[in-house]
């Protein structure tokens, strides 16, 4: 879920699984051939799934955090200060005007940085949106990996699945404009290409499998499709449905997929 505005790093973290668990590390690959390994990198919106070695047929592994992923260097002190000014300015402008009404020039002017600095650091407005989502996405992912039950470990799989659906829906609804902007202009399937999507698909599919549901991977994709930002926007903004009602129905859908 590199830091925002910086190139991704391949050595930030890894997840490796043994005996049905994937463990998060900040070190090098374990060469043990008996491990099923999933490598994670820090991308633009936090801890993200990078690539996965083939698991035994029919096997899905959970993700379990052991320690923190390595922090990504922010570069020189002046670059870090510029980054902070840019993000503070973008946050204020987005809150005041809405994401779509703010230009990169607006942000550069409010932050007091040159346009070149802004574009080199973030690329475009979608990059700014990703950066603002970064810490929030990391906190959510940490709660799933190592937080209290039922969202985190320790509860039955069916309870964890419903807790995840409710938490993910709240995250999407609370940061709807930023999530939509972070996927804008990225071409067809942008949501599916994000590392975070692979991360969440693995988690949801494993919970479904643990609960005994058939076709866990396909069901996970169906459920995540219902939680996509454009779908959430349709329900809450276009149709105008109450968020609590949508959340309750999504929880019911999640329970139906357990059967």
HEC string for 123-153: CCHHHHHHHHHHHHHHHHHHHHHHCCCCCCC
Write down the pLDDT at residue 189.
84
Average pLDDT of the segment spanning 202-219: 97
| Mean of pLDDT over the chain | 78
Average pLDDT of the segment spanning 56-64: 55
Using alpha carbons, select from 181, 67, 69, 83 the residue that is nearest to residue 133: 181
Average pLDDT of the segment spanning 12-39: 33
Write out pLDDT tens, residues 133-180. 988 898 999 999 999 999 999 999 999 999 999 999 999 999 999 999
**All domains in the chain, ordered by first residue:** 9-72+129-257 (1.10.357), 77-128 (1.10.10.60)
Average pLDDT of the segment spanning 192-212: 93
CA dihedral of 186, 192, 193, 195, whole degrees rounded to 10? 120
Counting every residue written for the chain, the total comes to 259
Cβ atoms 51, 22 nearer than 8 A? no
Would you place residue 37 in the very low, low, confident or very high pLDDT band (cuts 50, 70, 90)? very low
What predicted TM-score, i.e. pTM, was given to this entire model? 0.72
Write down the pLDDT at residue 243.
98
Cβ atoms 206, 216 nearer than 8 A? yes
Write down the pLDDT at residue 77.
81
Using alpha carbons, select from 91, 178, 85, 89 the residue that is nearest to residue 133: 178
E-assigned strand segments in the chain: 9-18, 21-25, 36-43, 46-52, 63-65
Q: Is the pLDDT of residue 2 over 60?
A: no
More confident residue, 244 or 259: 244
Taking the CA atoms of the chain, what radius of gyration do you get in angstroms?
19
| CA 12, chain centre distance (Å) | 16
Q: Is the pLDDT of residue 15 over 70?
A: no
Using alpha carbons, select from 64, 33, 38, 32 the residue that is nearest to residue 51: 38
Write out pLDDT tens, residues 68-118. 444 545 457 888 888 999 999 999 999 999 999 999 999 999 999 999 999
Write down the pLDDT at residue 134.
87
| CA 4, chain centre distance (Å) | 13
């Amino acid at each position: 879920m590199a830091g925002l505005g910086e190139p991704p790093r391949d050595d930030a973290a890894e997840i490796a699984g043994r005996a049905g668990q994937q463990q998060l590390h900040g070190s090098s690959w374990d060469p043990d051939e008996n491990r099923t390994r999933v490598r994670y990198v820090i991308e633009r919106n936090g801890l993200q799934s990078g690539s996965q070695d083939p698991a035994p047929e029919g096997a899905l592994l959970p993700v379990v955090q052991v320690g923190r992923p390595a922090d990504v260097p922010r570069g020189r002190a002046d670059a870090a200060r510029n980054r902070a000014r840019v993000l503070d300015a973008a946050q204020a402008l987005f809150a005041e005007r809405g994401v779509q009404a703010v230009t990169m020039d607006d942000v550069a002017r409010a932050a007091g940085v040159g346009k070149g600095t802004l574009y080199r650091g973030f690329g475009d407005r979608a990059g700014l949106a990703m950066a603002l989502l970064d810490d929030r996405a990391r906190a959510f992912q940490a709660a799933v990996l190592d937080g209290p039950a039922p969202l985190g470990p320790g509860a039955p799989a069916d309870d964890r699945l419903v807790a995840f659906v409710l938490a993910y829906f709240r995250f999407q609804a609370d940061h709807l404009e930023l999530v939509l902007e972070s996927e804008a202009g990225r071409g067809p399937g942008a949501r599916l290409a994000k590392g975070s999507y692979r991360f969440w698909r693995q988690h949801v599919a494993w919970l479904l499998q643990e609960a005994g549901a058939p076709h866990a991977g396909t069901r996970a994709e169906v459920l995540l499709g219902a939680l996509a930002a454009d779908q959430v926007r349709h329900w809450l903004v276009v149709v105008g449905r109450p968020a609590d009602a949508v959340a309750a129905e999504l929880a019911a859908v999640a329970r139906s997929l357990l059967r």
